[in-house]
């Protein structure tokens, strides 16, 4: 292998690590625990530590799907050379660093997707319209679905005719069903990805939908039973522990989704470096996100927790449940998704359910949405122009 190829890969790897750090310091590190911090359930610095650990775990265990999409599913007909990968990661990280500096949550998924598509089209690639439609549908529907679910949950939790000893365990059981059925690395046959339900089916040598449903209901009942016991003996403490558990699951999901934005552009280069497995770059990306969460996330956590809505534990739970569900759907589909968009939409929905328009800073919401759309278009334009101006051998 030529030394120049190795050198370019090393530079691209360093750019990927920096991108992973920026993601950990921004969207992945801040948004999962912002509702919990806003509800005074956990201090900011401790939240940054916990989210870093769970983001790392999610990156290693669930990061392959989105990485494959970003690396080879957005452009047809061409692969990104090392120089183009460096350009993509520099654009994405630069825009994200600007967002961290100013305190506004620029969406990583928008910047990286825009840069990859812009660079790929300029190199002569063809659009992958079915994937674009799928990604666009997720992006457009997320605010309405996430915000709507959060609004509905937040409207129910405070009601006197729906006691929390029933409503909170029911939500926890729903989350338990999802956890039992999502895909984790190495749980499937022969070390492939698989679910806990699938593992139980193979262990018990049982087949059929009925067994899967039974296992899912068993998990839901177990989770709901534990939460019921905890909430009944200590309502405030039980709500806090449910909130922290949900934040951890969202952080785990963030790692599985966001690591693909940092290391996905490296995937095409692995064809020339067969000695480096995908797991290695997922681990490296997860480590970069962990360090980013520990060192740079507190500023963004405070911004999201304090500026968008005044949250209590119930509204925070209402925000995190749909955030987790949407995040896992995106991981399953391999869609690069913005955790800023997911969690901010849910925060807005849950805040509006109780406080109405006064609970949300409308001006900052408009600025944030504008920054999301602007970052997508700017990343696309800069990526396209960079290919025309720079050699991409």
- For 338, the token pair is 């913005």
Domain for residue 24, yes or no? yes
Beta-bridged to residue 127, according to DSSP, are 75
d(CA 71, CA 123): 15
Looking at residue 284, its pLDDT comes to 93
d(CA 175, CA 253): 13
Helix axes 44-62, 235-263, angle to 10 degrees: 50
39 touches 311 (CB < 8 A) = yes
d(CA 179, CA 248): 12
Looking at residue 2, its pLDDT comes to 59
Domain for residue 190, yes or no? no
Domain for residue 70, yes or no? yes
Name, in order, each residue with C-beta under 8 angstroms of 311's C-beta and a sequence gap of 6 or more: 35, 38, 39, 305, 319, 347, 350, 351
Question: Residue 48's domain spans which residues?
Answer: 3-157+252-319+329-389
Domain for residue 340, yes or no? yes
Q: Which residues does the chain have with pLDDT short of 50?
A: 1, 308-309
For 133, counting Cβ atoms within 10 Å of its Cβ (0-12 exposed, 13-18 middle, 19+ buried), the class is exposed
The pTM of this model reads 0.89
Domain for residue 186, yes or no? no
Q: Which residues of 82-113 are buried (b: 16+ CB within 10 A; e: fewer)?
A: bbbbbbbbbbbbbbbbebbeeebbbbbbbbbb
Domain for residue 309, yes or no? yes
Domain for residue 178, yes or no? no
Name, in order, each residue with C-beta under 8 angstroms of 74's C-beta and a sequence gap of 6 or more: 113, 116, 117, 120, 128, 131, 132
Looking at residue 309, its pLDDT comes to 47
Domains identified in the chain, total number? 1
Domain for residue 305, yes or no? yes
Looking at residue 104, its pLDDT comes to 63
- Give the tens place of pLDDT for each residue, 279-338: 889 999 999 999 999 988 887 787 766 654 466 788 888 889 999 999 999 999 999 998
Q: Is the dihedral of CA 50, 56, 59, 60 positive or negative?
A: negative
- For 290, the token pair is 């962990």
DSSP string, 297-342: HHHHHHHHHHHS----HHHHHHHHHHHHHHHHHHHHHT----HHHH
23 touches 289 (CB < 8 A) = yes
């Amino acid at each position: 292998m030529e030394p120049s190829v190795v050198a370019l890969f090393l530079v691209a790897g360093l750019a990927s690590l920096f991108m992973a750090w920026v993601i950990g310091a921004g969207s992945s590190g801040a948004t999962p625990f912002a509702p919990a911090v806003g509800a005074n359930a956990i201090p900011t610095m401790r939240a940054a530590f916990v989210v870093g650990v769970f983001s790392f775990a999610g990156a290693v265990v669930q990061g392959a799907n989105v990485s494959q999409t970003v690396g080879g599913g957005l452009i047809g007909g061409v692969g990104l050379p090392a120089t183009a990968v460096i350009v993509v990661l520099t654009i994405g990280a630069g825009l994200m660093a600007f967002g961290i500096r100013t305190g506004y949550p620029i969406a990583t998924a928008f910047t990286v997707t825009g840069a990859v598509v812009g660079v790929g089209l300029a190199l002569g690639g063809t659009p992958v319209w079915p994937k674009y439609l799928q990604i666009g549908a997720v992006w457009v529907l997320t605010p309405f679905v996430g915000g709507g679910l959060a609004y509905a949950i937040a409207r129910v939790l405070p009601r006197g005719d729906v006691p929390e000893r029933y409503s909170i365990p029911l939500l926890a059981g729903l989350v338990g069903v999802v956890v039992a059925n999502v895909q984790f690395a190495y749980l499937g046959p022969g070390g492939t990805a698989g679910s806990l339900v699938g593992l139980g089916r193979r262990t018990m040598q049982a087949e059929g939908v009925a067994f899967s449903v039974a296992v899912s209901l068993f998990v839901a009942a177990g989770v709901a039973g534990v939460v019921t016991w905890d909430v009944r003996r200590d309502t405030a403490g039980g709500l806090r522990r449910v909130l922290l558990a949900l934040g951890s699951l969202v952080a785990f999901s963030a790692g599985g989704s966001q690591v693909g934005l940092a290391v996905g552009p490296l995937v095409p280069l692995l064809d020339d470096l067969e000695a480096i497995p995908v797991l290695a770059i997922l681990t490296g990306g997860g480590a970069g996100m962990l360090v980013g969460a520990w060192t740079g996330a507190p500023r963004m956590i405070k911004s999201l927790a304090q500026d968008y809505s005044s949250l209590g534990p119930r509204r925070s739970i209402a925000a995190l449940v749909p955030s987790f569900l949407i995040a896992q759907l995106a991981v399953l589909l391999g869609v690069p998704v913005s955790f800023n968009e997911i969690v901010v939409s849910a925060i807005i929905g849950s805040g509006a359910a109780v406080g109405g328009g006064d609970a949300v800073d409308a001006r900052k919401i408009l600025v944030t949405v504008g920054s999301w759309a602007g970052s997508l278009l700017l990343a696309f334009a800069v990526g396209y122009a960079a290919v025309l101006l720079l050699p991409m051998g």
